[in-house]
Chain A
């Protein structure tokens, strides 16, 4: 029988996941709602002193984005694990890390992009000055895929567990810290007006690094948690 070429397998898998997600559109909105809700909490908590909120703004947006991404991570392999398609992936001729990359990319499109779209609105809410918003968007574009990539390793390790959710956050959150530090730092320095090329390049480097390493680790941990 004609085996699929790698690229067509990749795109097929990607399309499949996007169609599946599109079918349950309602679920797509949850991470964004969570993101908006958490970000709205902070000004209420801190009080409406504009200066303070502005100082805290980028950090709040980024931590909320991180938690929203974490919340939606579980769905990456859960449904496939339950109905057994994950085992089929493991048996396929193609290298598993490439298939896993397709799933991670699909997950990022489904959850990362909505956050990305909602971010400017929230930045306004936290009166982050408008000239800093492009940097915020840039850090989100570079940061959210890194979160999905690093998170996928944790999800692959805990996919077999019934109540893996809490452990997932314990495993993955410490690994998110570098991304958080550089992203918020980039936005803060851009508010003050200093060029942020250093932080952005480090974020890009982290993205590329995890793009290469994470699928391998995820494939290996999938093989372990399914064995």
Chain B
């Protein structure tokens, strides 16, 4: 299964499935989130940002863990495909982290009255963004892509070990110095009508990640195997 060529074709078949299910869940989630879910008694309509912010934050953590696991696999067994999935997920992860940060501050403005609040979650999310950017810049700095892939696997592992430490230290630093910030509705029991769009959006972001990481991996596989025979045939097939 590990051979890039086999992966290229299998991924090609799977992407449409991911894409369709992603679009369906996204439309359902957004429709449900914006139109059906009742306004929050306390925050009115502004809480609807949660339907973007929370799934994006979930994804930023989820993707980093996937990268760390792929890092372990590619370091131990040196499978080319897992090496490729790390770099293919890096930029998606970074954009979800950025999205989570911006929507976090957009949501914070009406609630806490400031664009950027040194809230523990926002700060650790910011540090997570730096971890992603570190991986992306290290990968692009090393010419030999096999070496680069193994270097970022180490970095992803070192990063994932530090995420709980960073989060704990930020929690410690934050709660001691600031009145505990307003808890987002997550703490109170959320009525199901608000919960459903959140789950829908969560699922749709995961399906989106599935589709995009496969598409990027296919491009990366082509890039890496550019002078192998199967890529030549593929390209010749496409020229005629």
A residues with CB within 8 A of B: 153, 157-158, 160-161, 164, 167, 170-171, 173-175, 177-178, 181-182, 185, 206, 213, 217, 220-221, 224-225, 227
Contacts and interface: CB of A to CB of B under 8 A. Distances in A.
A19 to B, nearest CB: 31
A148 to B, nearest CB: 15
B138 A185 contact: no
A181 B127 CA distance: 13
The 6 tightest CB contacts between A and B, nearest first, are: A178-B169, A174-B130, A171-B134, A181-B173, A181-B169, A224-B150
A182 B173 CA distance: 8
B2 to A, nearest CB: 20
Contact of A175 (B138, B151, B158, B172): B158
Interface stretch (B160-168, B190-198, B214-222): B160-168
B48 to A, nearest CB: 31
Contact of B162 (A167, A175, A221): A175
A224 B176 CA distance: 41
A161 B142 contact: yes
Interface of B: 75, 127, 130-131, 133-134, 137-138, 141-142, 147, 150-151, 154-155, 157-159, 161-162, 165-166, 168-170, 172-173, 176
Contacts of B168: 178
Nearest to A169: B134
A60 B60 CA distance: 31
Given A182-B169, A224-B150, A224-B154, A174 B75 contact: no
Contact of B157 (A158, A164, A217, A225): A217
Contact of B166 (A161, A164, A177, A224): A177
B3 to A, nearest CB: 23
A105 B142 CA distance: 28
Contacts, number: 71
A13 to B, nearest CB: 23
Contacts of A221: 151, 154
B87 to A, nearest CB: 15
A224 B155 CA distance: 12
10 contacts: A160-B147, A174-B130, A174-B131, A175-B166, A177-B166, A178-B162, A178-B169, A217-B158, A224-B151, A225-B142
Contacts of A171: 134, 138, 155
Most chain B CB neighbours (cut-off 10 Å) among A158, A164, A170: A170
A217 B172 contact: no
Nearest to A184: B173
A167 B137 contact: yes
A167 B141 contact: yes
Given A185-B172, A185-B176, A224-B147, 10 more contacts: A158-B138, A164-B141, A170-B137, A171-B155, A175-B166, A177-B170, A217-B157, A221-B154, A224-B150, A225-B147
Contacts of B166: 174-175, 177-178
A186 to B, nearest CB: 11
A177 B154 CA distance: 19
Contacts of A167: 134, 137-138, 141
A221 B138 CA distance: 12
A160 B127 contact: no
B162 A225 contact: no
A174 B134 contact: yes
B137 A213 contact: no
A6 B131 CA distance: 35
A5 B161 CA distance: 33
A221 B172 CA distance: 31
Nearest to A156: B154
A177 B147 contact: no
Contacts of A177: 127, 166, 169-170
A161 B165 contact: no
